[in-house]
Amino acid sequence: MKSNGKHLHFFAIISDAVATLRGIIVPLGFGFVWGVRHLGDIIGYVLIIPLVIVVFNFFKWLRFKYEFVDDQFHIRSGVLVRSDRYIRIQRIQSVQIKTNLLLRLLGVVQLKFDTADQASKGDTVLSALKLEEAERIKAEVSRGKTQQSATAVEEKPVQTSKDLPKKIYLLSGKRLLAASLLSSKIGVMIAAVAGLWSQADDFIPDSIQGRSLSYLEHASLVGIIIIIGVAILLFWLFSLVSALLRWGFFKLSIYEEEWCIHRGVWETSDETYKTDRVQAIRIKEQWFQQLFGWCTVYADCSGSIDLEKSDGGSILVFPLLRKKELPDFLKTAIPRFSGPIERHPLPMRGTLYRMILPAAFWIVLCSVLTWWLDWGKYTFIAFPFILAYIWFKNRSEGWALIDKRLIVVNRWLTKTTTITTKQHIQSFAKRQSRFQKKLNLSTCKTFIRASTQETFTIHQLDEQDADRLFHWFRKK
């Protein structure tokens, strides 16, 4: 199975250059733009940077070669630090092909291997390939895998994604709209409005102090409310559209041992995940979703996954499901995590104990504000609301232990229900401070293996329950 070393498609240079440029510009953000506007002389240098990047990427492209050597995939890369990677085809967990708008215009795709490594070094990306070439590699990998396992274990035929899926879940148009509507992120919106507000400050000729306050005096209250309202509406629309684009044509096909997730309108991606990589299932309910009885299903996987596409290291399994449909969904998608989802509430004294710290923090904060600012004393009005929210948040948390499954319900803004099993827990810790000991409380922490380190914490549960969990984990 020896073949000559091959280059990527020529377009890789530009594609990578754009990616690098974006990587540089996005973090610097407005600072960069500001620099360009104010330091006219430097513009020349600014133009040189992309050129340097393109040249660098040209050498990178020249150096990057891949080939199949026997049962291994060999990648040669690196301009300054040269590296040779041999990936055993057996070890490749899945092959992912995806495109984005830019690549699609040229009929080029990206190919990515998932291995069991940690996320940072695990993923191996061939950033631009002709579609046929990508398909060829994919076929080669799956052929290599079948050959290998055919010689290794005769009796077990290897599952290929060519088989008919057990079930296909499609995100219908109505649901897509609902998902996009419900998922609009409130935190992002607030941040955006705050950002806009600070920007608005710049347009006001600078009086020396309290610029935003003087601005407040000039503009009418109604005007400000309208501005904020429009801003919120705009950002909400923006997040709606981005969600529509992200989740359009979402399709989850469930095979015997795999999930195929297809999604995206402009940037499509086809991802395959082996279900035995799933370490935990995470069910998230945002405020609005909870109100209407919907939820979003995520999965925490071991090995490398695409970090930018997924949410905080977990993969999105399905954007919007009725809570009623959840048991059936889990049963078909991943039977070992399915079953009743229950929740034992946490003891009342634990809730009270957990409120001491935030209460103290807010009291101090409000006092400081009162001390320094005229309107500071009004912040105390918010205080009972914050306390009430923390109270309800803590009361809605809980845990349950059903057979081999551990269910943990946590909430900050979104209610997150995590289901994992004993075999996926890497280590288990019981924590107890001296105060907690007096109150017979303790906190449990479970560590699971995922692309980023994941822990689930059950805060302030009864000590007997903590011991029960501890022993549950220890006994075989």
Partner 1 sequence: MTVARVFQKDSNMPQHERKVPFMEKRQLNPRILTIWRQRAIMTNIAFWLSIGGFVTSIFFFDWPHFLFYIVAALAALTILHLILYVFIFPTINYRTFFYEIRQEDLLIQDGIFIITQTVIPFTRVQNVETTQGPLLRKHRLTAVSVTTAAGAHEIPALEESDALALRDQIAELIKENPANEI
List contacts with partner 1 (CB under 8 A): 116, 276-277, 302-303, 423, 426-434, 436, 445, 447-450, 453-455, 470, 473-474, 476
Return the number of the residue (374 or 403) whose C-beta is nearest partner 1.
403
Name the minimum Å distance from CB 396 to partner 1: 25
Return the number of the residue (320 or 346) whose C-beta is nearest partner 1.
346
Name the minimum Å distance from CB 181 to partner 1: 36
d(CA 299, CA 290): 19
Task: Give the burial string for 98-137 (b: 16+ CB within 10 Å, else e).
Answer: bbbebbeeeebbbbbbbbebbbeebbbebbbbeeebbeeb
**Cα 304 to chain centroid, rounded:** 13
Return the number of the residue (16 or 123) whose C-beta is nearest partner 1.
123
Angle at 405 between CA 399 and CA 406, to 5 degrees: 25
Return the number of the residue (380 or 473) whose C-beta is nearest partner 1.
473
Name the minimum Å distance from CB 207 to partner 1: 25
Do the Cβ atoms of 96 and 301 come closer than 8 Å? no
> Coil, strand, or helix at residue 227?
helix
Angle between helix axes 221-247 and 173-182 (nearest 10 degrees) is 140
Name the minimum Å distance from CB 466 to partner 1: 10
d(CA 393, CA 358): 12
Q: Output the six-digit token pair for 140.
A: 């080669």
Return the number of the residue (15 or 93) whose C-beta is nearest partner 1.
93
Q: How many CA atoms lie within 13 A of 449 on its CB side?
A: 14
Q: Which of 438, 414, 417, 429 is nearest to 353 (CA)?
A: 438
Q: Write the CB contacts of 299 (distance below 8 Å, at least 6 apart in sequence).
A: 273, 278, 280, 281, 282, 314, 315, 317, 334
Return the number of the residue (32 or 473) whose C-beta is nearest partner 1.
473
**Cα 7 to chain centroid, rounded:** 32
The amino acid at residue 240 is L
Return the number of the residue (285 or 454) whose C-beta is nearest partner 1.
454
Name the minimum Å distance from CB 354 to partner 1: 14
Name the minimum Å distance from CB 19 to partner 1: 30
The amino acid at residue 426 is Q
Name the minimum Å distance from CB 429 to partner 1: 4
Name the minimum Å distance from CB 404 to partner 1: 13
d(CA 301, CA 279): 5
Return the number of the residue (151 or 423) whose C-beta is nearest partner 1.
423
Return the number of the residue (175 or 449) whose C-beta is nearest partner 1.
449
Name the minimum Å distance from CB 360 to partner 1: 17
The DSSP element (H or E) to which 320 belongs, if any, is: strand 314-322
Q: Length of the chain, please?
A: 476
